[in-house]
Amino acid sequence: MRESTPVSMSATLAADEALARRRRAGEKVLSMASGEIGLTVHPALRERLAAAAGESAYGPVAGGHALRAAVAGYWGRRGLGIDPGLIVAGPGSKPLLFALLLALGGDVVVPVPSWVSYAAQARLAGARPIPVPIVPGQGGVPDPDRLRAAVAEARAAGRDPRSVVVTVPDNPTGTVASPGTVRRLAAAARELDLVVVSDEIYRDLVYDTSAPAESPALHAAERTVITTGLTKSLAVGGWRTGVARLPDSDIGRALHTRLVSVASQIWSSPPAPVQTAAAYAFGEPPEITEYVAAGRRLHETVVRAVADRFTAAGAALAPVRATCYLYPDFEPVRDRLARVHGVHDGDGLARFLSERHGVGVLPASAFGEPGSALRIRAATSRLYGDTDEQRTAALTAAEPLELPWIRGAVEQVGEALSDLVRTATGALSPQS
Amino acid sequence: MRESTPVSMSATLAADEALARRRRAGEKVLSMASGEIGLTVHPALRERLAAAAGESAYGPVAGGHALRAAVAGYWGRRGLGIDPGLIVAGPGSKPLLFALLLALGGDVVVPVPSWVSYAAQARLAGARPIPVPIVPGQGGVPDPDRLRAAVAEARAAGRDPRSVVVTVPDNPTGTVASPGTVRRLAAAARELDLVVVSDEIYRDLVYDTSAPAESPALHAAERTVITTGLTKSLAVGGWRTGVARLPDSDIGRALHTRLVSVASQIWSSPPAPVQTAAAYAFGEPPEITEYVAAGRRLHETVVRAVADRFTAAGAALAPVRATCYLYPDFEPVRDRLARVHGVHDGDGLARFLSERHGVGVLPASAFGEPGSALRIRAATSRLYGDTDEQRTAALTAAEPLELPWIRGAVEQVGEALSDLVRTATGALSPQS
């Protein structure tokens, strides 16, 4: 007998749908809740998909050879060479992560905070997530010492942790765990006999390209699975394409067999036309790497501008080094928020920004943090324009902050924050 | 603590990959193991996908409104009108079926025989499948009386069956449960408080269009979920598109909430460009209904020719009324197969046909039948040609059996069966 698993809607997708409804109703809302990348598909990529529209066969469960070879090349150029036979493609890195949890079995350690779906997926897979806090300022990687303690405690209680999920670079914090922390995590995982599932979908969005994110696969090669996709770098979330790199080891080969079996029963194969377009993109021709670089610069510029507004409002914010996310902490102004607005936690903070100022963000609770945390996640990725013209202009602008729609968005955030941290209660506006 | 779920590769996809390897190695193999439809995408459908290549946003988890409205129209034309808000689209009907099992919770009754993935999906979802035999000659629907007995027994043993899967028309048998049987199944499901998950992906492939398959949704409207997709009618399996129609009832609305939540955590949304093409197809413009009709006639013609070979060889075969599948039973010639070839069961039969004659089929065990069953499933859907030219010729031919590649395939089946049921052992050929 099996109970229904408690499951709630993905917080990002739910917030996105709610904001879209308000926007359709004519409200001036800023969608900063989800990390969907609001940019236009590169024309060459779009043309590859169009040309592949006649491809309608399933092909291999793990994806066709051309795609897997291109993906192996992508990782090879990052010092992570791999046999294409150990690549598994799927309809998004989200389904791949879920299938990995099913294939691995056992319970799974997740960092706190971490992406909204890891813990939900673990529960759907019949596992219990084991939350372990990050090292402050180094999101995405559970503190290795606390990891040891949590796994020991879980095992003593009869539980069976078998894997740890990490996010490098990190969502929601926009930070990147240091090489030292990643090395210590890898050592702890080996010592504890845990498989490391390293979600590296933001890998190519580290602002300082001379200091790339360190993958745990460099230090625990035999037990690290890496996942990525084109969603974040190439703004094709709606295409549904993701890939996993399994380790070249006994662990990796056994997991490959189980992962492909799970995939065969759940989704059959990745969408065929998308595979062809993805193979082209993972080959990284110059026009594609230039697009990725332009997107990275755009994120950095807008993230820094928004970060300035948050720090000006008194929020604490670890330096954002990658992605399109900010994760400000309003603890330094807790008393004021409570006194002036009756805001006591992240949920109240998100509600205030969304309902009063049309700035849609997510509370820290969506990322597994305690309800009391006065933190929210804000994404800049939907501020780049509403039309293809605006988005293309944003991607190619020397000074994106001078584009009126981006400047207006940053100002809307600034005004919302000014109101949030004002010192007197004053008269409340009639809207609630 | 959670054990790893035992999981094996989808039998159809595994067989397909093995046959593809042999074919690449130069062997003359007939792929009759999987029901992948070997036809060319309709040009208008292909063009719709190509034109949508720039669509890269996730959109709503359940699929965009245009697609859901088109799907509601599709069902409305079949006497099953529904609010588009109760339609959920996903990346294939396979993921939708899996997500439904996760959302429903509890154990699930599956017919015997039935499609290879229902039972595997149930196990992955943490449920135990409860097998219930069909009424002979009416595949896809558990015998309603046996269903009552099995559910009573399971509940007495402390298990918690909450749903029953049916396949109308049926894979693997190519039969269609009678309206009376479907009505009795619906009544039993209501009496037992089971949700009916009705996989109707072969609905438009019933040969006699004046006698369509009866959906249990007509008789247990409040508790029947229907799934379908374009894979079988329009030969776009590799596109990954499926849809579910949830009942307009308290049961349906509660399940919709859970299903969309599960979908949001596992796959986000169906591929955006494919949604646009699918919306066009579910609108059923004349060129699309003509393509579906041509495919249906082609399946019928080739299935009947292959069925004649099986019955000529002494196999029993319920009249095939739909799909591209045959499910012959060699029980009448059991003694001969044992004596001449040492073939004692479906696995031996499949091995004999595949290894000695290059005719790839699946044994009954893949469909949940006992190992002793001397039955196999053969699909005709890959016999229509290897090139777009051949496949288009097959679809448009007045006499497809006169096309040399189809005639050759049918003859290869006939020769394999002649060898199978010959009466003397003779000298074994050197290949094994």
HEC profile for B83-124?
A: CHHHEEEECCHHHHHHHHHHHHCCEEEEEECCCHHHHHHHHH
B45-284, which class in CATH? alpha beta
Q: Over the stretch A296-341, which tens digit does the pLDDT of each residue have?
A: 999 999 999 999 999 999 999 999 999 999 999 999 999 999 999 9
Chain A residues in contact with B5 by the CB 8 A cut-off are 102, 105, 126
- Tell me: pLDDT of A427 over 90: no
pLDDT bin (cut points 50, 70, 90) of residue A153 is very high
- Tell me: pLDDT of A273 over 70: yes
Residue B173 structure tokens: 């048998």
Residue ranges of chain B whose pLDDT lies below 70: 1-6, 425-432
Chain B residues in contact with A59 by the CB 8 A cut-off are 238
Whether the CB of A221 is below 8 Å from some CB of chain B: the reply is no
Whether the CB of A111 is below 8 Å from some CB of chain B: the reply is no
pLDDT of residue A4: 59
Strand, helix or coil for residue A359: strand
Judge whether A298 and A394 are in contact, CB under 8 Å.
yes
Q: Over the stretch A39-63, which tens digit does the pLDDT of each residue have?
A: 999 999 999 999 999 999 999 999 9
Question: CA A254, CA A238: separation in Å to the nearest integer?
Answer: 31
pLDDT, greater one: A41 or A426: A41
- Tell me: pLDDT of A1 over 50: no
Kindly list the domain boundaries of chain B, sorted by start residue. 11-40+287-420, 45-284
Question: CA B304, CA B297: separation in Å to the nearest integer?
Answer: 11
Whether the CB of A198 is below 8 Å from some CB of chain B: the reply is no
Residue entry with tokens 């402390």: B158
Strand, helix or coil for residue B319: coil
pLDDT, greater one: A416 or A425: A416
Q: With a cut of 0.90, is the ipTM above it? A: yes
pLDDT of residue A425: 65
pLDDT, greater one: A321 or A355: A321
pLDDT of residue B113: 98
pLDDT, greater one: A106 or A116: A106
Residue A81 structure tokens: 């060479």
Whether the CB of A210 is below 8 Å from some CB of chain B: the reply is no
- Single out the residue of B244, B199, B249, B245 nearest to residue B223, CA to CA: B249
Residue A300 structure tokens: 């950095």
Q: Do A271 and B238 touch (CB under 8 A)?
A: yes
pLDDT of residue A235: 96
Q: Do B271 and A238 touch (CB under 8 A)?
A: yes
- Tell me: pLDDT of A162 over 50: yes
The phi-psi region of residue A385 (left if phi > 0; otherwise alpha if psi is between -120 and 50; otherwise beta) is left
Chain A residues in contact with B265 by the CB 8 A cut-off are 7, 10, 94, 98, 117, 120-121, 124
Instruction: Please compute the mean of the pLDDT values over residues A237-247 and round it to a whole number.
Output: 97
Chain B residues in contact with A17 by the CB 8 A cut-off are 60-61
Judge whether B14 and B354 are in contact, CB under 8 Å.
no
The phi-psi region of residue A368 (left if phi > 0; otherwise alpha if psi is between -120 and 50; otherwise beta) is left
pLDDT of residue B4: 59
- Helix then strand then coil, in percent of chain B rounded to 5, is 50, 15, 35
Q: How many C-beta atoms lie closer than 10 Å to residue A238's C-beta?
A: 24
Q: Do A240 and B270 touch (CB under 8 A)?
A: yes
Instruction: Please compute the mean of the pLDDT values over residues A123-129 and round it to a whole number.
Output: 95
Give strand ranges (E) for B136-262: 138-142, 161-167, 195-199, 224-229, 242-245
A55-284, which class in CATH? alpha beta
pLDDT of residue B430: 43
Question: CA A413, CA A416: separation in Å to the nearest integer?
Answer: 5
The chain-wide mean pLDDT, for chain B, equals 95
Judge whether B239 and A59 are in contact, CB under 8 Å.
no
pLDDT of residue A209: 96
Whether the CB of A260 is below 8 Å from some CB of chain B: the reply is yes
Question: CA A13, CA A350: separation in Å to the nearest integer?
Answer: 15
- Tell me: pLDDT of A200 over 90: yes
Whether the CB of B57 is below 8 Å from some CB of chain A: the reply is yes
- Single out the residue of A321, A303, A264 nearest to residue A384, CA to CA: A303
Kind and range of the H or E run holding B151: helix B144-156
Q: Write the CB contacts of A267 (distance below 8 Å, at least 6 apart in sequence).
A: A90, A91, A95, B91, B92, B94, B95, B240, B267
Q: Do A98 and B41 touch (CB under 8 A)?
A: no
A11-40+287-420 is a CATH 3.90.1150.10 domain: yes
Nearest to B2 among A160, A270, A388 (CB): A160
